[in-house]
């Protein structure tokens, strides 16, 4: 017998759970892309997106995933031969670095490993050594979805400012936008990339690049006609927003998602919900790891943990077995471990991730935790007691 039949919960972490309201908004005939309701609607999307990103700057929207937004950001700011400093705390910052390599930039990667945040002293040393200001951009992630570390974006800006270094500061918020507190302008971020399918609760297919006037002023760039952000941010004709036909149905879905964020009380309320649900999840993970329990969170310092996703490990191949058990028996799909071990390596079966971002509430999280416990019991995976009570206590206090 399986108890998986019913509404599935995809907690991988992205794509995240898509609200029915978003899907229903997309379920309609093709709208006119030359005049009328869609054209009006897109004008209203722009300020709402900027409000979520906490910026008065510009936004360019691409028909792309996050990788497309990475390439857009890189190619609009950097010319071949220019130097870029990449601060890597997992798979994703490193991946963005490769995009800079491929447009011909000279990347210098500082790798802070899989369990730590960016070390400010090392950033300061790297920038201080660049007396000629050859480094044109400092590139990092807010939340690295592979390790679930959350970097202190304002503190890194503090280091750049302390040295008076003119490099652009570019941050990937693909996992964290509308999940973890992020203040683009207040934290001094020049370029920020995001995508539709995580905190924004919309199917994959839209990439966003937010940028300020300093970034807009960069003359050196490699962007081709399609990737050029200028017409997208300041279109004279409607088609220029998207470099061609508008991604009509994704835009309708995004409109519904932004309405949901506004109705919840704005992005601050969304951040607060995610913070509480993350603390509830961590309370359960903590309890499972006590008293001979195997479970460990990848990031031990709570201040450095993302509210979007938690990377976890068990012993042996218990991570993979637990994932398979909850999917087959309970309708919950957890995320694979990403970037923690090479696929096929002896320890690859240890790692997995729980996504807790986007359209999730207390009962979904408690349900996920409950069936994870059932799976550990069924599989004989050692775990400490009291996890569900600990999570419930966090929710009760909120």
Ligand X SMILES: *Cc1c(COP(=O)(O)O)cnc(C)c1O
Taking CB under 6 A as the rule, which mask of x and - marks residues 280-309 in contact with ligand X? ------------------------------
Q: Which residue's beta carbon is nearest to the bound ligand X?
A: 66
Strand-pair category, 58-63 with 206-211: antiparallel
Rounded distance, CA 250 to CA 200, Å?
11
Of 9, 11, 14, 271, the residue at the interface with ligand X (CB under 6 A) is 14
Of 11, 159, 195, 251, the residue at the interface with ligand X (CB under 6 A) is 195
The region of 141-149, 237-245, 315-323, 345-353 touching ligand X under the rule CB under 6 A is: 141-149
Closest approach, Cβ 141 to ligand X, in A, equals 5
Could you give phi then psi for residue 11, rounded to 5 degrees? Answer: -125, 55
Of the pair 65, 329, the CB lying nearest ligand X is at 65
- Residues in the interface with ligand X (CB under 6 A) total 14
The region of 142-150, 160-168, 283-291, 329-337 touching ligand X under the rule CB under 6 A is: 142-150
**Which tokens sit at 282?**
């961590």
Identify any residues that bridge with 60 across adjacent strands, giving them in sequence order.
209
Strand-pair category, 296-297 with 351-355: unpaired
Rounded distance, CA 232 to CA 58, Å?
9
204 lies in the site for ligand X, by CB under 6 A? yes
Q: Residue 156: which of 134, 174, 179, 172 has the closest Cα?
A: 172
227 lies in the site for ligand X, by CB under 6 A? no
Of the pair 151, 248, the CB lying nearest ligand X is at 151
Q: Which residues contact 359 (CB under 8 A, 6 or more apart)?
A: 16, 17, 18, 19, 201, 260
The region of 159-167, 168-176, 324-332, 348-356 touching ligand X under the rule CB under 6 A is: 168-176
The region of 140-148, 217-225, 270-278, 329-337 touching ligand X under the rule CB under 6 A is: 140-148
Q: Are 25 and 255 in contact (CB under 8 A)?
A: yes
Site for ligand X in 29-88 (CB under 6 A): 65-67
Closest approach, Cβ 117 to ligand X, in A, equals 14
Closest approach, Cβ 93 to ligand X, in A, equals 8
Q: Residue 45: which of 213, 259, 193, 270 has the closest Cα?
A: 259
Rounded distance, CA 253 to CA 199, Å?
13
Question: Where on the chain is the footprint of ligand X (CB under 6 A)?
Answer: 14, 65-67, 92, 141, 143-145, 172, 174-175, 195, 204
């Amino acid at each position: 017998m399986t108890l998986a039949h019913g509404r599935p919960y995809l907690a991988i972490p992205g794509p995240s759970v898509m609200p029915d309201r978003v899907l229903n908004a997309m379920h309609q005939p093709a709208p006119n892309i030359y005049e009328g309701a869609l054209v009006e609607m897109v004008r209203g999307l722009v300020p709402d997106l900027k409000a979520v990103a906490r910026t008065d700057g510009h936004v360019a929207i691409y028909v792309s995933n996050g990788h497309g937004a990475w390439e857009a950001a890189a190619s609009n700011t950097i010319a071949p031969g220019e130097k870029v400093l990449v601060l890597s705390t997992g798979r994703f910052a490193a991946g963005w670095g490769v995009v800079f390599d491929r447009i011909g930039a000279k990347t210098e990667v500082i790798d802070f490993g899989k369990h730590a945040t960016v070390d400010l002293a090392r950033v300061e040393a790297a920038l201080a050594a660049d007396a000629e200001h050859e480094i044109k951009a400092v590139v990092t992630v807010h939340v690295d979805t592979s390790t679930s570390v959350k970097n202190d974006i304002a503190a890194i800006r503090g280091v750049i400012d302390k040295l008076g270094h003119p490099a652009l500061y570019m941050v990937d918020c693909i996992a964290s936008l509308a999940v973890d507190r992020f203040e683009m302008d207040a934290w001094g971020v020049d370029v920020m990339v995001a995508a539709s399918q995580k905190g924004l609760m919309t199917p994959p297919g839209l990439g966003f690049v937010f940028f300020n006037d300093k970034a807009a002023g960069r003359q050196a760039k490699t962007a081709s006609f399609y990737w050029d952000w200028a017409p997208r941010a300041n279109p004279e004709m409607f088609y220029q927003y998207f470099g061609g036909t508008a991604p009509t149905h994704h835009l309708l879905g995004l409109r519904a998602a932004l309405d949901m964020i506004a109705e919840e009380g704005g992005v601050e309320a969304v951040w607060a919900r995610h913070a509480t649900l993350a603390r509830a999840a961590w309370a359960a993970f903590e309890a499972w790891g006590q008293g001979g329990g195997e479970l460990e969170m990848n990031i031990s310092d709570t201040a450095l943990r993302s509210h979007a996703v938690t990377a976890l490990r068990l012993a042996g191949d218990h991570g993979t077995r637990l994932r398979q058990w909850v999917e087959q028996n309970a309708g919950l799909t957890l995320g694979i471990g990403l970037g923690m071990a090479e696929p096929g390596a002896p320890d690859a079966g240890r790692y997995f991730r729980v996504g807790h971002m986007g359209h999730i509430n207390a009962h979904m999280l408690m349900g996920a935790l409950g069936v994870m416990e059932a799976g550990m019991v069924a599989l004989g995976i050692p775990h400490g007691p009291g996890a569900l009570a600990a999570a419930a206590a966090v929710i009760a206090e909120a």
